């Protein structure tokens, strides 16, 4: 099991992202991970996967792209070698067409099948479902920040939290709720849309990273850090020409959406 986890970890490490957030892998980064000691043997598997892609009616050029790169081969000499950009689907097909006797190939089949399935599910998610998922992420990030803030010397967490809002919204939590017409008992982020949630997630994660990176252990410094990070996130939104978070309209409560989803699931199961 440990070996399988190592393979998955290595595949995650060499994964790359396009400018639009799409995942891809370089063939020469993964062939050894998948149990191949010689490039020529792995290249044959890529060709089989390429043909398999074509046979399904999918354009292989969208998933397999030939490239060349320079590598050092010794004595300071560089040589051009063939490589490939491979999408998640291409890697899945490579796993399906690889040597099944190799345990690494079996792991790759599972890994890329799960990744492909996750993307299919994500693509089908409605905006509401994506909002619910994002809200859950923000909840987890906030819990992690609370723990880190405590280690950084924060005793008055409400004051620390409000400083982040002041930086991002240029007003405290109570004023934000009043401006948006949100009830005092409601959680601001339960009424936030995806854009507002994303801005807050960025504020939260960047604050936590800075508290750790700067080894902050004084409450006053931690509070100031949270406010400054909030300001920086606000400046990014401004530079991009986005709507300021205090001007984004509140949406239906996440709790109501979660209840609706639960009812739908219950009806489907009956």
Per-position DSSP letters for 238-253, written without gaps between them: HHTTPPPGGGSPP-S-
For residue 53, how far is the Cα from the chain centroid? 27
What does the pLDDT read at residue 259? 66
The pair of three-digit structure tokens given for residue 193, joined into one six-digit string: 């849309």
What does the pLDDT read at residue 270? 37
Residue 223 and residue 154 in contact, taking contact as beta carbons nearer than 8 Å: yes
What does the pLDDT read at residue 257? 73
What does the pLDDT read at residue 80? 86
Nearest to 258 by CA among 99, 136, 79: 136
Residue 142 and residue 204 in contact, taking contact as beta carbons nearer than 8 Å: yes
The CA distance from 41 to 99, in Å, is 10
- 171: which DSSP letter? S
Q: What angle do CA 228, 231, 232 make, to 5 degrees?
A: 90
* End-to-end Cα, the chain, rounded Å: 38
The CA distance from 162 to 155, in Å, is 13
Residue 178 and residue 165 in contact, taking contact as beta carbons nearer than 8 Å: no
In the three-class reduction of DSSP (H, G, I as helix; E, B as strand; rest coil), residue 23 is classed as strand
In the chain, what are the domain boundaries?
2-124, 127-269
Residue holding tokens 């067409």? Answer: 97
Instruction: List the pLDDT tens digit at each of the 270 positions of the chain.
Output: 445 568 888 888 999 988 877 889 999 999 999 999 999 999 999 999 999 888 777 788 989 999 988 777 766 778 888 999 999 889 988 988 888 778 788 778 777 877 776 666 666 666 777 788 789 889 999 999 999 999 999 999 999 999 999 999 999 999 999 999 999 999 999 999 989 999 999 999 989 989 999 999 999 999 999 999 999 999 888 888 889 999 999 999 988 876 665 554 343 333
Residue holding tokens 């723990």? Answer: 147
What does the pLDDT read at residue 160? 98
For residue 35, how far is the Cα from the chain centroid? 28
The pair of three-digit structure tokens given for residue 91, joined into one six-digit string: 């890697």
């Amino acid at each position: 099991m440990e070996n399988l986890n190592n393979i998955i970890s290595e595949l995650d490490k060499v994964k790359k992202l396009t400018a639009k957030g799409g995942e891809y892998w370089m063939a020469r980064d993964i062939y050894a991970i998948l149990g191949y000691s010689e490039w020529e043997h792995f290249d044959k598997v890529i060709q089989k996967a390429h043909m398999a892609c074509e046979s399904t009616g999918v354009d292989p050029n969208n998933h397999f792209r030939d490239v060349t790169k320079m590598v050092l081969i010794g004595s300071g000499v560089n040589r051009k070698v063939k490589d490939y950009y491979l999408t998640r689907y291409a890697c899945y097909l490579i796993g399906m067409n690889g040597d099944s006797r190799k345990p690494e190939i079996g792991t790759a089949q599972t890994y890329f099948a799960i990744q492909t399935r996750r993307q299919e599910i994500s693509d089908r998610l409605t905006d509401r479902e994506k909002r619910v998922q994002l809200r859950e992420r923000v909840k987890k990030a906030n819990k992690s920040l609370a723990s880190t803030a405590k280690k950084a010397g924060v005793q008055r967490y409400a004051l620390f939290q409000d400083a982040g809002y002041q930086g991002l919204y240029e007003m405290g939590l109570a004023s934000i709720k009043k401006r948006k017409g949100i009830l005092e008992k409601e959680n601001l982020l339960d009424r936030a849309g995806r854009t507002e949630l994303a801005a807050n997630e960025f504020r939260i994660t960047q604050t936590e990273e800075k508290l750790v990176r700067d080894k902050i252990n004084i409450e006053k410094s931690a509070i100031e850090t949270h406010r400054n990070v909030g300001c920086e996130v606000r400046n990014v939104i401004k530079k991009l020409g986005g709507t300021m978070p205090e001007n984004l309209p509140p949406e239906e409560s996440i709790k109501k959406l979660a209840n609706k989803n639960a009812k739908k699931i219950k009806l489907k199961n009956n």
